[in-house]
């Protein structure tokens, strides 16, 4: 992140969020998110805060994102207090004018969120205990939002998790790519073509009434879970920008895809990741322990949720690579292509282990 962006953030937080008499805070980059720019704000006499510039190139209405998060975090805080849980979901901190965000002179939208002290996130899961905690927190999140009026939310990303639409977007990008398709990219395109026939399996199940929409997180990967440093228990699910009505299998599929491949989305040695059944069992056991449940149809289609969400992310990485890296942040020109290759390798492993995954689901939900 450039010094100029940090300076912009400092001006915004001083002008709109901190007391007019507060000393200028220290601001430093926080985390490794691929979408928004995130900073830790430290000021004497004030608790630490998290400052974020919402990516207007990704989210069509950044103000809507801030308002959605304000509503969801307020509800989570109320439900947690009622239930007596130990979660510490961070709340959105309103600006001094009472609004959920502030807009700088360049039109960028900034928001401030509580900083959860004594907590840490992990880019990768390294044990079954961690995987259990990730699953438990996702189940708890779904449970605490089961009575939330989703009608107050505006769509954060129209078409999010619409796999058929992502496939059509890839086709359109291939017609006018900003990057020529290398041999590796062409191989990924072939992987997509081979799986187009049932890319709409979850959509069709929803249309038939077999799957119903609930409020979901939208991006429950392992580094969006905060763990208490002392107890090692999961205490929060963060990055709520994509919370919206959707299929719970989108969340579970994305969570399993992320957690059960300890090598991550871009292994440093570029070797294929591996889908671990023991971590899959831990996530699903934790999810049920968190108080959430699945319908019979959701259980029968859980494997497809995992498979299609992995497929989806591979398509999105590949499309972004060919389109010139407009969505996901990159450090090297081939980053998004490497990420796509990892997902398609992982997808092949998941498909090979279908029987084992479905047996796990039947064992956990007999």
pLDDT, position 117: 94
Task: Choose the weakest-confidence range: 26-40, 88-102, 237-251.
Answer: 26-40
Domain count, the chain: 2
Q: What is the CATH number of the domain that holds 73?
A: 3.30.200.20
Over 60: is that where the pLDDT of 151 sits? yes
Residue 169 lies in a domain: yes
C-alpha to C-alpha distance for 306 and 163, rounded to whole angstroms: 13
Model confidence at 5, pLDDT cuts 50, 70, 90, reads confident
C-alpha to C-alpha distance for 95 and 14, rounded to whole angstroms: 10
pLDDT, position 342: 92
- Percentage of the chain beyond pLDDT 70 is 98
Model confidence at 328, pLDDT cuts 50, 70, 90, reads confident
The answer for residues whose C-beta is within 8 angstroms of residue 33's C-beta and 6 or more apart is: 239, 329
Domain that includes residue 81, residue range = 3-116
C-alpha to C-alpha distance for 231 and 228, rounded to whole angstroms: 6
Q: Among all chains, which residue has been given the structure tokens 């959430």? A: 292
- Residue 142 in contact with residue 216, Cβ under 8 Å? yes
Task: State the pTM of this model.
Answer: 0.93
Based on the fold, state whether residues 152 and 225 are members of the same structural domain: yes
The two three-digit tokens of residue 79, written as one number: 């439900």
Of the three residues 96, 116, 136, the one that is the final residue of a domain is 116
Summarised one tens digit per residue, pLDDT across range 25-64 is 899 998 877 789 999 999 877 889 999 999 998 899 999 9
Over 80: is that where the pLDDT of 211 sits? yes
Model confidence at 177, pLDDT cuts 50, 70, 90, reads confident
pLDDT, position 2: 63
The answer for residues whose C-beta is within 8 angstroms of residue 357's C-beta and 6 or more apart is: 277, 280, 302, 303, 306, 350
Residue 252 lies in a domain: yes
pLDDT, position 268: 62
The phi and psi torsions of 114 (rounded to 5 degrees) equal -60, 145
pLDDT, position 76: 94
Give the HSE-up count for residue 36: Cα atoms under 13 Å, Cβ half-sphere. Answer: 23
Of the three residues 91, 116, 141, the one that is the final residue of a domain is 116
Residue 304 lies in a domain: yes
């Amino acid at each position: 992140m450039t010094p100029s962006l940090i300076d912009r953030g400092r001006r915004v937080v001083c002008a709109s969020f901190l007391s007019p008499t507060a000393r200028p805070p220290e601001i430093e980059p926080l985390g490794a998110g691929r979408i928004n720019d995130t900073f830790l704000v430290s000021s004497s006499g004030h608790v630490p805060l998290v400052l974020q510039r919402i990516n207007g190139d990704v989210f069509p209405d950044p103000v809507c994102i801030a308002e959605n998060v304000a509503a969801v975090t307020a509800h989570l805080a109320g439900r947690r207090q009622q239930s007596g849980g130990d979660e510490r979901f961070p709340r959105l901190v309103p600006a001094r004018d009472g609004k959920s965000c502030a807009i700088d002179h360049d039109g960028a939208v900034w928001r401030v969120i509580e900083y959860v002290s004594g907590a840490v996130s992990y880019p990768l899961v390294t044990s079954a205990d961690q995987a259990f905690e990730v699953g438990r927190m996702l189940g708890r999140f779904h449970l605490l939002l089961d009575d939330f009026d989703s009608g107050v939310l505006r769509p954060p990303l129209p078409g999010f998790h619409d796999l058929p639409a992502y496939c059509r977007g890839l086709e359109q990008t291939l017609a006018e790519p900003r990057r020529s398709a290398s041999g590796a990219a062409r191989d990924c395109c072939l992987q997509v073509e081979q799986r187009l026939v049932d890319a709409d399996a979850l959509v069709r199940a929803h249309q038939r009434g077999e799957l119903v929409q609930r409020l979901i997180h939208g991006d429950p990967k392992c580094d969006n879970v905060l763990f208490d440093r002392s107890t090692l228990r999961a205490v929060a699910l963060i990055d709520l920008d994509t919370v919206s009505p959707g299929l719970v299998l989108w969340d579970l599929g994305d969570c399993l895809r992320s957690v059960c491949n300890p090598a991550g989305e871009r292994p440093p040695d570029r070797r294929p990741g591996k889908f671990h059944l023991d971590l899959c069992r831990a996530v699903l056991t934790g999810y049920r322990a968190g108080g959430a449940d699945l319908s019979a149809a959701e259980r029968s289609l859980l494997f497809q949720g995992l498979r299609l969400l992995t497929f989806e992310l591979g398509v999105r990485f590949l499309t972004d690579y060919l389109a010139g890296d407009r969505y996901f942040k990159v450090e090297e020109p081939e980053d998004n292509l490497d990420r796509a290759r990892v997902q398609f390798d992982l997808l092949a492993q998941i498909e090979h282990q279908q029987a084992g995954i479905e047996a796990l689901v039947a064992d956990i939900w007999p």
